[in-house]
């Protein structure tokens, strides 16, 4: 016969478990100020439940790869390098800041050795050039300098400059195609991000509309702020946002220069995620100067290494990345883009149902840990940032 033990020890341990929290330990709700808005007197958008106590829960499913166990592919076998050397076909669009082709050109073998960053048409495009349904242009960009992650600044810069050139030619030059007004820019880095190629590459789409719920939330948030909230977050330390959250960023700013601010966001949509806020009001990447893109590249390098530096021992090593440029749904609309750097952790059920993320990691404390590692990371790539 089973008799339930009346164990007072378990009882005392149970305080703050099973959802029965003391006041100061209860979950707190935070909305991402740049992705949330008010409608019918209610807040909608991305939110997190911040619950530091949950960080101590047991973890059974952990596959941890050490950093020195990551295998690099031989540069010579890289598919993108074969294109770079002229051994394989491509339809080039941009080399650095020069337009070198059109999407309607025929594939050809070209030696790209005069360029550092190359942007080509995606051979396995998810978009159709000649149809309206799922229509648009899909691009892949890579650097002459082989790397598989964000451990080096110059390949990131090469990639972003060539994407900027290509997208400008496809979107701004309307003689090319009148209906492409939406720039989509992202990086999938590493196998768990969904990247099929090992070599670091950026991706971009030029499409005719953005109808997703995320875009809707960004645009609504922007519209509900009289002053651009991203401008304010890029310069001010303490402010109250349009949904009346008191944002004190003082301790969450990890690094900044005259063009960008890198911070641990108030309501991170992924644990350990970081955000880059360009200080100048720019609608999309196409409007940024080379100096600004240089700073963004450097901040991406820092962010990547900062996330690794705080990767907890009970977690998989957080080396893979999703990097997303949150830009306007049309280059014709006013907006202020920013960049999220996210470790690749799968979407949770609650996120797919209601944009609800859960984190045990306090963004202020995360920033403090990262700042302790900042000098070492900066010194490692000192030469690039001058």
Which parts of this chain interact with Zn ion (CB under 5 A)? 228, 230-231, 281, 336
Q: Given the complex with Zn ion, which of 122 and 224 has the nearer CB atom?
A: 224
* Number of residues that make up the chain: 386
CB of 165 to Zn ion, least distance (A): 24
Distance CA 46, CA 42 (A): 13
Judged by beta carbon, residue 149 or residue 230, the one nearer Zn ion is 230
Count of H helices and E strands in the chain? Answer: 8, 16
Residue 38 or 228: the one with the smaller Cβ distance to Zn ion is 228
Residue 101 or 278 with smaller CB distance to Zn ion: 278
The least CB distance from residue 327 to Zn ion, in Å, is: 12
Please give the Cα distance from 124 to 225 (Å, whole number): 40
Closest CB 284 distance from Zn ion, rounded Å: 12
Among 81, 115, 87, 85, which residue's Cα sits nearest to residue 101? 115
| Residue matched to tokens 């021992």 | 313
Of 75 and 232, nearer to Zn ion (C-beta) is 232
Residue 282 beta carbon to Zn ion: minimum distance, rounded to whole angstroms: 8
**Nearest distance from residue 230's CB to Zn ion, in Å?**
5
Contact 143, 159 (CB under 8 A): yes
Of 231 and 374, nearer to Zn ion (C-beta) is: 231
Per residue in 248-280, is it b (16+ CB within 10 Å) or e — as a string?
Answer: ebebbbbbbeebbbbbbbbbbbbbbbbbbbbbe
227 or 244, CB closer to Zn ion? 227
Q: How far is the CB of 218 from Zn ion (least distance, A)?
A: 13
Helix axis angle for 363-380 and 290-309, nearest 10°, is 110
Q: How far apart are CA 111 and CA 264, in angstroms?
A: 42
For the CA atoms of 163, 164, 166, 168, what is the dihedral angle to 10 degrees?
160
Least distance CB 223 / Zn ion (angstroms) = 13
Residue 45's CB is within 10 A of a number of other CB atoms, namely 23
């Amino acid at each position: 016969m089973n008799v339930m033990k009346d164990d007072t020890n378990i009882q005392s341990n149970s305080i703050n478990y099973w959802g029965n929290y003391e006041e100061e330990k209860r979950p707190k709700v935070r909305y991402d100020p740049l992705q949330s808005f008010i409608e019918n007197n209610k807040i909608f958008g991305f939110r997190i439940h911040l619950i530091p106590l949950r960080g101590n829960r047991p973890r059974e499913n952990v596959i941890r790869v050490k950093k020195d166990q990551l295998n690099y592919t031989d540069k010579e076998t890289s598919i993108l390098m074969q294109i770079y050397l002229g051994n394989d076909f491509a339809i080039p669009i941009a080399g650095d800041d020069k337009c070198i082709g059109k999407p309607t050109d025929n594939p050809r073998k070209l030696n790209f050795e005069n360029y550092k960053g190359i942007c080509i048409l995606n051979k396995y495009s998810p978009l159709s050039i000649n149809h309206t349904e799922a229509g648009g242009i899909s691009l892949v960009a890579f650097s002459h300098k082989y790397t598989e992650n964000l451990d080096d600044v110059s390949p990131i810069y090469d990639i972003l400059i060539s994407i900027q050139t290509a997208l400008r030619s496809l979107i701004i030059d309307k003689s090319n195609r009148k209906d492409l007004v939406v720039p989509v820019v992202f990086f999938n880095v590493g196998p768990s991000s969904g990247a099929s190629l090992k070599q670091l590459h950026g991706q971009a789409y030029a499409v005719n509309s953005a109808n997703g719920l995320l875009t809707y939330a960004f645009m609504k948030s922007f519209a509900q702020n009289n002053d651009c909230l991203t401008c304010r977050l890029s310069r001010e330390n303490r402010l109250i946002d349009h949904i009346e959250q008191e944002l004190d960023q003082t301790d969450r700013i990890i690094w900044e220069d005259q063009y960008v601010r890198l911070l641990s966001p108030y309501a991170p949509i992924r644990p350990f995620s970081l955000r880059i806020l360009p200080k100048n009001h720019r609608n999309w990447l196409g409007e940024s100067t080379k100096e600004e893109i240089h700073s963004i590249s450097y901040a991406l390098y820092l962010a990547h290494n900062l996330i690794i530096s705080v990767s907890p021992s009970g977690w998989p090593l957080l080396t893979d990345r999703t990097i997303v440029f949150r830009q306007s749904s049309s280059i014709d609309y006013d907006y202020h883009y920013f960049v999220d750097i996210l470790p690749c952790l799968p979407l949770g059920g609650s996120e797919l149902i209601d944009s609800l993320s859960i984190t045990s990691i306090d963004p202020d404390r995360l920033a403090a840990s990262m700042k302790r590692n900042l000098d070492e990371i900066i010194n490692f790539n000192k030469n690039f940032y001058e």
